[in-house]
């Protein structure tokens, strides 16, 4: 058997792939499973996107290789959306790039910047891709704890200066996965200035920026004056447009970083299918604010329904202000055992330790099931014996 590269030793099993394996094992025992695991919307994609991709799929010119840097119509539509939504002007030619979902773009950006011995500053808990590809590239992750008492915001002032001097990238993600936390523009402004003083690229993962359930709408880091000098932002159509399977997103901001990611992608993939990019452009040009409001209202109603149930069974948690995730402390503190107990009862949740060591003691629940299924989840929680919620 050919020996694997040593870099594979740094790569843990992907969190959701492992979760799917455990779910299938339970289903094979005849247990019906309700999944509050992976963040995959159960609601249909925007009708205009579906109609557009159907039409464009029939056009022969869309059967050929796509443009490496992305369809101009999509990037121009994205720039207009950023101007309307955030008041931000971006050059669609030099400050945007289409990615095959933001997951792909985030992973490849790391390869453009990180060498063995470099430091990447990453929230903990966080989306697993940040750490996984830092390890593959030979870099070192320096974890920034996200704690409830700090509003799940990393304390940049606590980073030692010798660590900061070795850092290439700082990852931020607001609204946040997995905690559902938000940040204000003042925090983003301070982060931009902190990175400018230390020559660090700020990478803002804005996959959930359209998913505010209460309070003021979430912000783009590019709203900060001068942010494009040191920052890049990933925008995704997956969650807010219910287009996870379409794999469409974009990166915007610092033109050197956009170009560097483009060079990696030119040597790695052949771009996203034009029919899907036309569909994305149509969705962005349709002034989707009403669609976002409708989706957020559904998630808000589901959130409130779930929390009514959690209160009945005695599970104390704080409702999220954004995203469709609930980040809930585990009774007893052992998230792995608690998640296994729920899975045996037919409910999938994600152990918080899968997002990093500072996620231990929490589980993530996703609001991508119907209210009827939420009620069934609560029934199963209430039937647990012995009850983990008893005091």
pLDDT per residue as tens digits for the range 271-308: 999 999 999 999 999 999 999 999 999 999 999 999 99
Please, what are the domains in the chain? 6-44+290-383 (3.90.1150.10), 47-287 (3.40.640.10)
- Give the model confidence (pLDDT) of 27-76 as tens digits: 778 778 899 998 999 999 999 999 999 999 999 999 999 999 999 999 99
Is-contact 43 295, C-beta < 8 A? yes
Q: What is the pLDDT of residue 241?
A: 98
Q: Exposed (0-12), middle (13-18) or buried (19+): which is 3, by Cβ within 10 Å?
A: exposed
For residue 112, give both structure tokens: 């453009």
3-class secondary-structure state, position 389: coil
For residue 236, give both structure tokens: 């995704």
3-class secondary-structure state, position 217: coil
pLDDT band at 16, cuts 50/70/90?
Answer: low
12 pLDDT more than 90? no
* Among candidate residues 212, 279, 364, 351, the one with its CA nearest the CA of residue 50: 279
Checking DSSP bridges between strand 362-366 and strand 325-329, what pairing results, if any?
Answer: antiparallel
For residue 321, give both structure tokens: 């202000």
Checking DSSP bridges between strand 347-348 and strand 119-124, what pairing results, if any?
Answer: unpaired
In sequence order, the 6+-apart residues with CB closer than 8 A to the CB of 164 are 121, 198, 200
- Give the model confidence (pLDDT) of 73-127 as tens digits: 999 999 999 999 999 999 999 999 999 999 999 999 999 999 999 999 999 999 9
- Give the model confidence (pLDDT) of 330-364 as tens digits: 998 999 999 989 998 999 999 999 999 999 999 99
For residue 154, give both structure tokens: 């990393």
In sequence order, the 6+-apart residues with CB closer than 8 A to the CB of 263 are 112
Query: Taking all residues of the chain, what is their mean pLDDT, rounded to a whole number?
Result: 95
Q: What is the pLDDT of residue 386?
A: 87
For residue 206, give both structure tokens: 């804005």
Sign of the CA dihedral 127, 131, 134, 140?
positive
pLDDT band at 15, cuts 50/70/90?
Answer: low
**DSSP secondary structure letters along 92-127:** TTTSEEEESSHHHHHHHHHHHH--TT-EEEEEES--
- Residues 31 and 345: their CA atoms lie apart, in Å, by 8
Q: What is the pLDDT of residue 21?
A: 77
- Residues 181 and 189: their CA atoms lie apart, in Å, by 17
Is-contact 182 212, C-beta < 8 A? yes
In sequence order, the 6+-apart residues with CB closer than 8 A to the CB of 192 are 202, 221, 224, 226, 227, 230, 231
374 pLDDT more than 70? yes
For the chain, how far is it from start to end, CA to CA, in angstroms? 54
- Give the model confidence (pLDDT) of 223-247 as tens digits: 999 999 999 999 999 999 999 999 9
* Residue for token pair 């792995």: 336
- Residues 95 and 232: their CA atoms lie apart, in Å, by 9
- Give the model confidence (pLDDT) of 148-184 as tens digits: 999 999 999 999 999 999 999 999 999 999 999 999 9
- Residues 349 and 336: their CA atoms lie apart, in Å, by 10
* Among candidate residues 66, 22, 25, 42, the one with its CA nearest the CA of residue 374: 42
Q: What is the pLDDT of residue 322?
A: 98
Q: What number of CA atoms fall less than 13 Å from residue 362's CA on the CB side?
A: 27
- Residues 175 and 149: their CA atoms lie apart, in Å, by 17
- Residues 372 and 301: their CA atoms lie apart, in Å, by 12
């Amino acid at each position: 058997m050919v020996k694997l590269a040593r870099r594979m030793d740094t790569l843990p099993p992907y969190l959701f792939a492992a979760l799917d394996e455990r779910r299938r094992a339970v289903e094979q025992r005849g247990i019906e499973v309700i999944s509050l695991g992976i963040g995959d919307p159960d609601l249909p994609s925007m009708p205009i996107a579906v109609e557009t991709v159907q039409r464009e799929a029939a056009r022969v010119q869309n059967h050929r290789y796509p443009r490496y840097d992305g369809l101009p119509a999509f990037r121009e539509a994205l720039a207009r959306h950023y101007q309307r939504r955030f008041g931000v002007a971006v050059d669609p030619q030099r400050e945007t790039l289409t990615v095959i979902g933001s997951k792909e773009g985030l992973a490849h950006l790391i390869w453009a910047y990180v060498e063995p011995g470099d430091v990447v500053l990453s929230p903990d808990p966080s989306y697993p891709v940040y750490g996984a590809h830092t390890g593959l590239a030979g870099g070192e992750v320096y974890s920034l704890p996200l704690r409830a008492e700090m509003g799940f915001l990393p304390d940049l002032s606590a980073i030692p200066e010798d660590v900061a001097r070795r850092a290439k990238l700082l990852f931020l993600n607001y609204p946040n996965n997995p905690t559902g936390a938000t940040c204000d523009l003042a925090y983003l402004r301070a982060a931009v200035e902190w990175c400018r003083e230390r020559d660090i690229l700020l990478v803002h993962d804005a996959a959930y920026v359209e998913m505010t359930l209460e309070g003021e709408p979430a912000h783009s880091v590019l709203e900060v004056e001068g942010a494009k000098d040191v920052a890049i932002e990933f925008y995704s159509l997956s969650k807010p447009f219910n287009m996870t399977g379409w794999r469409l997103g974009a990166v915007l901001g610092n033109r050197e970083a956009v170009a560097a990611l483009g060079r990696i992608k030119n040597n790695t993939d052949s771009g996203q299918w034009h029919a899907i990019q036309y569909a994305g452009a149509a969705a962005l040009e349709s002034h989707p604010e009403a669609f976002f409001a409708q989706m957020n209202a559904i998630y808000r109603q589901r959130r409130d329904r779930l929390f009514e149930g959690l209160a009945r069974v005695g599970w104390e948690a704080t409702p999220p202000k954004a995203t469709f995730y609930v980040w809930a402390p585990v009774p007893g503190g052992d998230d792995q055992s608690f998640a296994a107990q729920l899975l045996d009862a037919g409910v999938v949740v994600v152990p918080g330790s899968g997002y990093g060591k500072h996620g231990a003691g929490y589980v993530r629940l996703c609001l991508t099931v119907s209210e009827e299924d939420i009620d069934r989840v609560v029934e199963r929680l209430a039937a647990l014996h012995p009850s983990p919620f008893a005091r």
